[in-house]
Amino acid sequence: MKEKQTELLQQAISLDTAGHAAKKEDYQKIGNLTEFGKMLNPFGFLKGRQKVYARIISEDHPEIRENIQNEERREGFVVHISLLTEEMLQADYEYFNYEEFANRTDRFLTEEARKNYKPYYYEFTGFVRKSQEREYGMFSERVMDRWFTAWLNSDAVSEEGSYYIEGIVEFSASPFKERSGYFVWDKNCKTVTKEEQKKIDAWKLPDKDDQRLLKKVFLQVFDNARNKFRVKVYNVGQANCIYIRNRKHRIFFDVGIPKDSQNKSMDRKRPEVQRSMSDIQKSRPTMVILSHWDMDHIKGAFLLKDEAFQKYWITPQISSSSKPKKSADMKFAGSAERLAKYLSYNSRLLRVPNDKNGTEICRGRKGILWKGDGVGRKITKNNNYGLLLELDDTGSGKRALFSGDCEYESWPVGLLNKKIEKLIVPHHGSEMKTDKLKNIAPGYGEAIISVGEDGKGYKHPNGDHIQELKNVNYTVKQTLYDKVKNFSI
């Protein structure tokens, strides 16, 4: 059994090293980048060593990574690092400070480029080998959650005092592009200067009370009891994406795809996941609700058409401070923070504040929005402070609940006396306390687990969790193995 687990983990984290010794001419083969994408220079390292700004993402740091057992890390572990090129830093700064640069002749972001600006994804996924753990551990503790200077290179480096991780650089302003490369740092690695941090802080979100508008927007969709919604739980592998629609409205509850790159994700090679990603790219949502800001719940946003960013997005709070003040403020990927800033800058972001934790946010006759209280201990607080969406069929009295990654212990009290016929199981069916399941189980019903091949390295779903669902008479379906049918409510 242990040998099989090790084999699965190795499949999940193995990197296709072919092409690591990239030639300069490989840069010309990237193709299909828009003019805006080329301006951002995401793959400059294929022509030579490229300076980047980087931040290790605390949600993926090996000390808190979900459910990976020590025995399965004998060969090393996967890390996710947010990146910025020098061109990206300047482009973002000028876009979000337009008044300062509008009349300047020396600006980097031209008027034409500004019109083509859209949220983009730029991240590195790498594998820290067992022999590299000591150097990486000392380095990551020093810079955790702070931006610092590093380099990308097409070849491994052998300079004294320099260290590297091999991996994949992935970029998207749609479609996704990726190249193999090396993330390089040295022992004297420094955090960014005050001037550089000032530019990064262009992502900071304004303090704003969105509650009145949020309630109005939510009720326009969910206050008509005659609305019959059709729900599709997409097979997106180890991620979460649900599409809720009727004749007038089309709502995503999470828009995730596997956070690992095409190169190393087993899920993204599966035809059914590729079809789901194609559907996301073609979709025309009228609203997006995010349970929380983890990449496996939002990465599909970078596939969406431009018009999707002009619709309202209802989300939990996202930290935008230079340093997180407490565990509830752990940093997310830079790509997530840029997306949040873009939506806020264009008055499309409606945030649920943290003082609403554990409460009902707004109630319509067809749906109720809830927020987790953060009490659960098995997964991160950012997951357990997430949003949950309840849909009600007033005629039959049946309910569906979309719980994101919020474990049962963190559900608001008001949810725990309701019977849930269609349950989207929290956090890919991971290990968690399940004693409150008996409060919501109707004696029959369907429990759907969104999970993929990539989840096996995390031991998702957890066997005991599945058994507890069955013990309270849920029929359990997994998107990896079962064809989950659309349902109406």
Question: Could you say which DSSP state residue 417 is in?
Answer: T
Residue the block writes with tokens 């400059």: 44
3-state secondary structure of 146: coil
For residue 306, the model assigns a pLDDT of 94
Handedness of CA 288, 286, 489, 466 (dihedral sign): negative
Residue the block writes with tokens 């800058």: 345
Evaluate if pTM is beyond 0.85: yes
Q: What is the largest CA-CA distance in the chain?
A: 71
| Residue 383 pLDDT > 50 | yes
CB count in 10 Å sphere of residue 187: 12
Q: Average pLDDT for residues 81-102, to the nearest whole number?
A: 96
Residue 459 banded pLDDT, cuts 50, 70, 90: confident
Token pair recorded at residue 465: 């969790």
289 close to 314: Cβ distance less than 8 angstroms = yes
Q: Average pLDDT for residues 333-345, to the nearest whole number?
A: 96
CA torsion, ordered 32, 38, 44, 46, to nearest 10 deg: 20
Please, which residues bridge with residue 84 across strands? 53
Residue 41 banded pLDDT, cuts 50, 70, 90: very high
Token pair recorded at residue 231: 């729900």
Token pair recorded at residue 86: 């020098």
For residue 30, the model assigns a pLDDT of 54
Token pair recorded at residue 431: 């290990």
pLDDT tens across 309-324, in order?
999 999 999 864 444 4
Q: Across 199-213, 373-387, 444-458, which has the greatest mean pLDDT?
A: 199-213
pLDDT tens across 144-169, in order?
889 999 999 999 887 888 899 999 99
CA torsion, ordered 125, 454, 484, 314, to nearest 10 deg: -30
Q: Average pLDDT for residues 11-20, to the nearest whole number?
A: 39
| pLDDT > 70 fraction of the chain, expressed in percent and rounded | 87
Q: Distance (Å, rounded) from C-alpha 410 to C-alpha 403?
A: 10
For residue 28, the model assigns a pLDDT of 47
Contacts of 198 by beta carbon, 8 Å cutoff, 6+ apart: none
pLDDT tens across 252-308, in order?
999 999 988 777 788 888 999 999 999 999 999 999 999 999 999 999 999 999 999
Contacts of 14 by beta carbon, 8 Å cutoff, 6+ apart: 127, 264
For residue 26, the model assigns a pLDDT of 52
Residue 40 banded pLDDT, cuts 50, 70, 90: very high
267 φ, ψ (degrees, to nearest 5): -65, -40
Q: Which of 205, 208, 86 is nearest to 147 (CA)?
A: 86
Token pair recorded at residue 379: 């997964």
Where is pLDDT greater, at 331 or 142? 142
Q: Describe the chain by its helix, strand, coil percentages, rounded to 5.
A: 35, 25, 40
Q: Which of 481, 474, 414 is nearest to 451 (CA)?
A: 481
Half-sphere exposure of 257 (CA within 13 A, CB side): 26
84-112 burial, b at 16+ Cβ within 10 Å, e below that, comes to bbbbbbbbbbbbbeeeebeeeeebebeee
Contacts of 470 by beta carbon, 8 Å cutoff, 6+ apart: 476
3-state secondary structure of 125: strand
Residue 411 banded pLDDT, cuts 50, 70, 90: very high
Token pair recorded at residue 187: 């022992």
Token pair recorded at residue 115: 């019109």
Q: Does domain 204-488 have CATH number 3.60.15.10?
A: yes
Question: What residue spans define the domains of the chain?
Answer: 2-200, 204-488
| pLDDT > 90 fraction of the chain, expressed in percent and rounded | 65
3-state secondary structure of 351: strand
